[in-house]
């Protein structure tokens, strides 16, 4: 091979190399990955789902908690209904059996009790240090911690409510129509959301779980007896009638009770004769909505300080 042939082959090789490198090698701009636009809502939902799943895994490992939460209100329903089975008709302000009368009270009080305990898991996370790990984690929003607890408690309350409704129907209390069941679900969710907010606020404010349990014990039964869960307003002394008329539980109980006892109902139906006047179903739902909004607003400063 002559020098001329060698130079020709060398030029051809260099040209081919430059052509292939230009064709196959990406440019510097092509090597940079495409920028991913942030999606705060998607990240918040993902975090909330993961934290909610953690709570359900804990429940799966301790199923006795769910079983007790379902059995206890059913025992209340059966035992209280049997206790006053032979009561004279009309003694409790309605021409119905006491088992049918108390069903609404059991539904609301069960949801209230579960929501009042909502702060305990958060309190235990505080004491065992898991909450601190969440607070230093790169979460898009630390409010996902609160949202997960609310979703968990609301789901448990709906499961308990479904069990009570089914057993009540089997015991002869009947079953509301689909629209009535929808109103029942709305009432339970509003009450659970408001009480859960207050419980979580206490969990971030009190020093330990002993103090939180003390608050739960002090408020649980008094609010039950100072409501229309067990007896109507007409059965109470005047001073207790005023207290029960200011109790948010009464505004959750009476709409459900009216739906159970009346086939024809509407937002204008009078569900409670309070000392200060008649309360319609629409007004009772509005009171529950205001209670929930006020509870959520009250805990905002505490949550901002605790989750900062």
**7-47: pLDDT as tens digits:** 344 454 444 455 444 444 444 444 455 556 567 778 888 88
Residue 297 is predicted with a pLDDT of 93
CA dihedral (20, 23, 29, 32) positive or negative:
negative
Higher pLDDT, 9 or 226: 226
DSSP 3-state of 307: coil
Residue 290 is predicted with a pLDDT of 95
Residue 286 is predicted with a pLDDT of 95
Q: Phi, psi at residue 203, to the nearest 5°? A: -65, -30
Residue 92 is predicted with a pLDDT of 58
Percent of the chain with pLDDT over 70: 83
**276-303: pLDDT as tens digits:** 989 999 999 999 999 999 999 998 888 8
Which pTM value belongs to this model? 0.80
Residue 255 is predicted with a pLDDT of 93
How many Cα atoms are found within 13 Å in the side-chain-facing hemisphere of 77? Answer: 27
**268-279: pLDDT as tens digits:** 999 998 999 899
DSSP 3-state of 272: strand
- Report which of 220, 223, 110 is spatially closest to residue 164, judged by C-alpha positions: 110
- Report which of 125, 116, 107 is spatially closest to residue 260, judged by C-alpha positions: 107
Sequence-separated (6 or more) residues with CB below 8 Å from residue 215: 202, 206
Residue 38 is predicted with a pLDDT of 66
**108-118: pLDDT as tens digits:** 988 998 899 88
Residue pair 271/99 in contact by the 8 Å Cβ criterion: no
**81-123: pLDDT as tens digits:** 777 766 666 665 556 677 778 888 889 988 998 899 888 888 8
What CA dihedral angle connects 134, 135, 136 and 139, to 10 degrees?
70
Q: How much is the mean pLDDT over the chain?
A: 82
What b/e readout covers 9-28, taking b as 16+ CB neighbours within 10 angstroms? Answer: eeeeeeeeeeeeeeeeeeee
């Amino acid at each position: 091979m002559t020098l001329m042939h060698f130079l020709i082959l060398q030029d051809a090789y260099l040209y081919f190399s430059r052509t292939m490198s230009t064709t196959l090698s990406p440019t510097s701009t092509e090597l940079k990955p495409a920028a991913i636009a942030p999606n705060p809502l998607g990240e918040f939902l993902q975090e909330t789902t993961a934290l909610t799943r953690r709570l359900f895994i804990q429940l799966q490992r301790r199923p006795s908690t769910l079983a007790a939460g379902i059995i206890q209100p059913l025992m209340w329903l059966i035992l209280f209904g049997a206790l006053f089975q032979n009561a004279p008709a009309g003694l409790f302000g309605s021409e119905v059996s006491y088992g049918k009368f108390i069903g609404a009270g059991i539904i609301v009080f069960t949801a209230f009790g579960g929501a009042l305990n909502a702060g305990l898991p958060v309190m235990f996370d505080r004491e065992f240090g898991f909450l601190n790990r969440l607070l230093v984690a790169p979460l898009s929003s630390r409010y996902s911690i609160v949202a997960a607890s609310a979703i968990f408690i609301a789901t448990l309350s709906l499961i308990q409510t479904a069990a009570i409704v089914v057993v009540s129907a089997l015991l002869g209390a009947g079953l509301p129509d689909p629209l009535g069941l929808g109103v029942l679900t709305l009432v339970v969710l509003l009450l659970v959301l408001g009480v859960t907010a207050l419980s979580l606020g206490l969990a971030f404010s009190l020093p330990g779980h002993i103090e939180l349990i003390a608050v739960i014990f002090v408020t649980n039964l008094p609010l039950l007896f100072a409501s229309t869960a067990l007896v109507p307003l007409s059965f109470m002394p005047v001073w207790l009638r005023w207290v029960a008329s200011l109790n948010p539980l009464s505004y959750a109980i009476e709409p459900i009770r009216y739906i159970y006892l009346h086939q024809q109902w509407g937002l204008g139906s009078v569900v409670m004769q309070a000392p200060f006047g008649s309360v319609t179903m629409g007004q009772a739902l509005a009171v529950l909505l205001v209670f929930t909004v006020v509870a959520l607003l009250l805990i905002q400063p505490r949550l901002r300080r605790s989750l900062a």
